[in-house]
Amino acid sequence: MFDDLLKLATELKSQSRPFVLATVVGCKPPTSARPGAKAIVQADGSFHGWVGGSCAQPLVIQEACKALQDGQTRVMLLAPDPEAVNFGFESFVPIPMTCQSEGTLAIYLEPFLPRPRLVVIGASPVARSLAHQGNGLGFRVCVCDPAASSALFPNAEILVRDLSAIASTAGTDIAPGYVVIATMGHYDEAALEAVAGSPFSYLGLVASPRRGKAVIDYLVRKGISSETLQKVKYPAGLDIGAETPEEVAMSVLCEIVQKMRAGNQGVVIEQLAQGAPTGATTATDPICKMTVGIAGARYVSTYQDNTFYFCCPSCQEAFDQDPGGNLQPAIG
C-alpha cells in the first residue's frame, strides 16, 4: 500500500498536480487505523489509501481540500468530544466524530502544491537576474524573448521566443503565475498587451512611474480596459532603494514572495477544490451528525422527495423508524 502511495505521490508531483498526504499520527482505540497509516487526497476529492473507516474518510477529504486552499499543514483531531481531549499540542483542528466506535484519531495533513510559475519577459540584465534568483527560490521559471536561449538563461525550465505563445504560459489551473515584464523599454507595450488578459497572481512592469503610465495610457487607447490594466504593478518591486539589476530583481521577487505568503497562492487551488466533496457533494447524517460523502454512499433513504445519507446501517435504521423528525434534507 505504501509503495503504491509513494508512486502516486511521485507521479502527481511530476505532473504538478496538487494533493494532500494524510498520515495518522495518533489514535485511541477502538479505531480501524493505526499510527503511520497514510492516504492521498487529490484536489478533485479522490481518495487513495487508508486512514480510517467510513466515518473518518469524508472528514479527511473535507479538511484536505481546505489545506489545498490555504497551503497550510494541520493536525485534525477526530473524536466524540475533541475539545475534551488532552492532545498536548497547539494548532490542531478539533472535529467531532460521533462514530459508533467512539475512537479518536489524530491525522496530520500536509499539502503538496505545484511550484509557482515565474514568467519573465525580456532578456535584459534584470530579466536574467530574475530568472537566476527565481530558480533559487523554487519557482518554475519561464522566459519569453526573441533572444531567449539556454546559454542566456540556464536556469529557465521553459523558453518561449514568440509573445503570442506566452498567454497560455502566464498562468494555469494548476499553479499560480507571477509575471514580470523586464524588457526595459524595448517592447513594453507589446509584452503587456500579450499577457494583460491572462490568468496570473501578479503582473509587474519594471519601469519608472512615468514610463509605466505611458505604457498603460497607450494600451487604454488601443482598447484594453482600464480595469484590466489596474492590476499591473509599476514600478514592479518593493521600494528598497535598488540600483543594480540584481537589486531590482531582488526587490521584485521580494514583492512576489510577500504576495505569496499573504495567501494569494490559494486562489487557484480554491478553484480546483470546487469539484471536491464539499458543499453539495457531502451530507450530514441526520442521526449522528457525521459528514458523509454522497458519491458511493451505501446507506441512503428517501422521505417526502428528500434524500438522506447515513454513515452506518444503525443510523439509517433509526431514521427509517421515525423519519418525520428529520424532514429537512441533510445536504451539506
How many whole angstroms separate alpha carbon 188 and alpha carbon 167?
A: 15
- Whether 194 is covered by a domain: the verdict is yes
225 and 138 in a common domain: yes
- Whether 121 is covered by a domain: the verdict is yes
Segment 268-294 shows an average pLDDT of 57
Residue 328 has pLDDT above 60, yes or no: no
Give the DSSP H or E segment for 268.
Answer: helix 266-273
288 and 178 in a common domain: no
**Phi, psi angles (nearest 5°) of residue 46:** -65, 145
247 and 135 in a common domain: yes
Quote the number of domains for the chain.
3
Sign of CA dihedral 26, 28, 29, 30: negative
Residue 310 has pLDDT above 60, yes or no: yes
Segment 108-126 shows an average pLDDT of 93
Segment 93-106 shows an average pLDDT of 74
How many whole angstroms separate alpha carbon 231 and alpha carbon 119?
A: 16
Which residues form the domain of 138?
117-264
End-to-end C-alpha distance for the chain, whole angstroms: 32
Residue 110 has pLDDT above 90, yes or no: yes
Segment 102-109 shows an average pLDDT of 85
257 and 129 in a common domain: yes
- Whether 175 is covered by a domain: the verdict is yes
Whole-prediction pTM? 0.68
- Whether 178 is covered by a domain: the verdict is yes
Residues found in the chain: 332
198 and 155 in a common domain: yes
Mean pLDDT check: name the lowest of 112-116, 119-123, 285-289, 328-332: 328-332
252 and 312 in a common domain: no
How many whole angstroms separate alpha carbon 75 and alpha carbon 109?
A: 6
Residue 47 cell numbers, joined: 481518495
pLDDT, tens digit (0-9, with 9 covering 90-100), for 52-82: 776 788 888 888 988 888 888 999 888 877 7
CA nearest neighbour of 171 among 128, 200, 194: 200
253 and 121 in a common domain: yes
DSSP structure string for 291-321: EEESTT-SEEEEETTEEEEESSHHHHHHHHH
pLDDT, tens digit (0-9, with 9 covering 90-100), for 241-280: 999 999 999 999 999 999 888 864 543 444 333 333 344 4
The count of other CB atoms within 10 Å of the CB of residue 240 is: 12
* pLDDT (0 to 100) of residue 295: 67
- Whether 290 is covered by a domain: the verdict is yes
* pLDDT (0 to 100) of residue 292: 73
Residue 33 has pLDDT above 50, yes or no: yes
The CATH number given to whatever domain includes residue 203 is 3.40.50.720
Long-range CB contacts for residues 288-296, cutoff 8 Å, separation at least 24: 288/98, 288/99, 288/315, 289/96, 289/98, 290/55, 290/58, 290/59, 290/97, 290/98, 290/99, 290/315, 291/58, 291/59, 291/62, 291/332, 292/54, 292/58, 293/57, 293/58, 293/61, 294/331
121 and 97 in a common domain: no
| Banded pLDDT at 221 (limits 50, 70, 90) | very high
Segment 201-216 shows an average pLDDT of 95
Contacts of 47 (CB under 8 A, 6+ apart): 39, 40, 41, 57, 60, 61
pLDDT, tens digit (0-9, with 9 covering 90-100), for 165-199: 776 555 554 456 899 999 999 999 999 999 988 87
CA 96 to chain centre: 25
* pLDDT (0 to 100) of residue 89: 67
- Whether 75 is covered by a domain: the verdict is yes
Q: Which of 56, 91, 113 is the last residue of a domain?
A: 113
**Phi, psi angles (nearest 5°) of residue 105:** -130, 135
Residue 97 has pLDDT above 90, yes or no: no
* pLDDT (0 to 100) of residue 169: 59
Contacts of 59 (CB under 8 A, 6+ apart): 76, 78, 95, 97, 290, 291
* pLDDT (0 to 100) of residue 303: 87
237 and 124 in a common domain: yes
Contacts of 75 (CB under 8 A, 6+ apart): 25, 89, 91, 92, 93, 106, 107, 108, 109
